[in-house]
Amino acid sequence: MRAPLDIACDESGAEGEKLIGGNTDVFAHASVVMDRDSAAACIQELRERAPSPVTEYKAGHILREKHRAALRWLLGPDGPVLGNVHVHLTDKTFLVVGKVVGLLAEDHAQGEGPRQNSPALSREGGQDAGAWAMAVALYREGPAAFGPGRWAAFLDSFNYLLRAKNGQGVTTSVDDAFRLVDDLRAAGGPAGEVMELLWRARARVGAFRERLLADPHVFPALDPLIPAIVRAVAYWGRGGRPVFIVHDRQTTLTDQRIALLLETGGMAGLRLVESRLDARVQVADVVAGVARKIASDELNGRGDARLTALLRPYVDAYSIWGDERSGALLGQRPDEVMYR
C-alpha cells in the first residue's frame, strides 16, 4: 500500500453555517503539500518582502497595497507555492441555493453524511443534471425575478431552515419561509418555476428540518468546510493515493465528524493542530486568505485582473461557484460538475 501523502490545510471566511448576511461572501480552503523547512522558508521570505512584527503571519499583511509585489511573488511562477497549493472556493450564496434545490430530490433529502451535504450537480446524470440547471437558474435569475429585497429574504429564511444552530432571536419557521415561497412562485420564468417546485416540496423541507434538529451533530448541512475537505482529498489523492490531513483547529471537525469523513474513502487520517505551530498550516492560512479576497473582489466586479490570473492555477475547477463571469476568470468548469 502506498504511503499517505501529508497535506496541511486552513481556511478563510469561515462563519459556520451563517452564509447569508455574514462578514464574508466567499469561503476559501487551501491545502498545501510542502515539507516543514520549505514552508518555514516561505513564511520567512514573506516577512522580509512584506515586514510585520506579528507572531503569526497572516494574509492581511501582503494584501496591503504597499506589499503588492510580495503578493505577486507568492502566487507567481517564481514563487514557492505554485504546484504545491490547491484552493477550493465557495460562493456562499450559491451554496445555499444549491442546498435548497438539493431538497427537491428525494435522495438528497433522505441521504446522510457527506452525500447529503455535498450533492453532485452536473449536466449529466438525469436528476443531478436537472438539479444543476435549477440551481444555476435560480442563482442567476432570482435577484432580477424577485427583486433584491425579496431575494435577500428568501436566502436568509432558507439559510436559517438549513442550519442546525441559529443565533438568538431568529424565529423564522417553515410556515414563514413558505409564505414567501408562495409569493415568489408567481414571478414566472425559470426562477418562478423553481419556486413552484419548492412549494410542492414543502412537506419534504419540513421533514428535513425536523431530522436536522433531532440530530444536528452528524454533518452540518451548510458548513462549506466539509465539501472543501472532501475535494482536497480527491485532488491530492487522485490515482488512489491515501491522504493524511493536518488541519488548523475547527469546531466543526469533531471526533464524530472526522470518523465519518474517514469512512468516505481516500483519507488516511486527520489531525488538528494550532496553525502557529506548523509552518505548512501557516502557508495554507495565508494563501486561503489571499484567495478569498481576490475571489470575492472578482465576484463583486471589482477584481484586479492580474491577481485573478495569478490565482487561477491554484483554484479547484469544481469549486462551489455559480457566477458565470467571475467563474470563467477563476477557471471553473460550468459544463461539468458544479460541486460534489
Residue 236: which residues within 8 A CB-CB, separation 6 or more? 5, 7, 31, 33, 86, 243
Residue 10: which residues within 8 A CB-CB, separation 6 or more? 29, 30, 247, 248, 275, 281, 282, 284, 285, 288
Say whether both 196 and 307 belong to one domain: no
Report yes or no on 112 lying in a domain: yes
Strands of the sheet containing 26-32, edge to edge, are 85-91, 26-32, 5-12, 243-248, 267-273
Domain housing 271: 5-91+221-330
Q: Which of 94, 219, 108 is nearest to 158 (CA)?
A: 94
Q: How many domains does the chain have?
A: 2
- Phi and psi, residue 27, nearest 5°: -115, 135
Tens-digit pLDDT profile for residues 100-153:
998 887 544 343 333 333 333 433 333 466 787 889 999 999 999 999 999 999
Say whether both 87 and 97 belong to one domain: no
Do residues 104 and 205 lie in contact, with contact meaning Cβ atoms separated by under 8 Å?
no
Q: Can you give the pLDDT at residue 169?
A: 54
Do residues 57 and 43 lie in contact, with contact meaning Cβ atoms separated by under 8 Å?
yes
Residue 266: which residues within 8 A CB-CB, separation 6 or more? 233, 234, 237, 242, 243
Report yes or no on 105 lying in a domain: yes
Q: Which of 234, 284, 318, 238 is nearest to 331 (CA)?
A: 318
Residues of the chain with pLDDT under 70: 1, 106-129, 166-171, 216-218, 334-340
Assign residue 166 a region (left: φ > 0; alpha: ψ between -120 and 50; beta: otherwise): beta
pTM value surpassing 0.75: yes
Question: What percent of the chain stands above pLDDT 90?
Answer: 74
Say whether both 80 and 138 belong to one domain: no
Task: Give the separation between CA 83 and CA 98, rounded to whole angstroms.
Answer: 30
Report yes or no on 183 lying in a domain: yes
Q: Can you give the pLDDT at residue 164?
A: 74
Say whether both 100 and 77 belong to one domain: no
Task: Give the separation between CA 90 and CA 23, rounded to whole angstroms.
Answer: 14
For residue 53, what is the domain's CATH number?
3.30.420
Q: Can you give the pLDDT at residue 5?
A: 97
DSSP 139-163: HHHHHHHH-HHHHHHHHHHHHHHT-
